Amino acid sequence: MPKLICEFPPGVLRNATTASNLTAVASALRSMPGVGKPFLIFASLPATVALADFDAYPDYVVSADVAANETMISEMLATPPLDALTFV
């Protein structure tokens, strides 16, 4: 199951397991973390995430457009932005 990394509520780093249906995930992103908020998604994570540098990937921001969110998810799953994460 894919792993969503976001701040929700703002200032609180969240690591959430998502559904495997990418269209459902792309739609749900509009609620958590919310439109205009940064997010990262991974097929899996090698360890516990301590920090996330969302500024490293400024284009990965939730859109109101589900298709745009799905495109970003597919890009991240194909080339995981692991360099944006600091692990425990």
- Over residues 71-88, the mean pLDDT reads 97
Q: Give the pLDDT confidence of 45-67 residue by residue, as tens digits.
A: 999 999 999 999 999 999 999 99
DSSP reduced 3-state for 47: coil
Cβ(36)–Cβ(54) below 8 Å: no
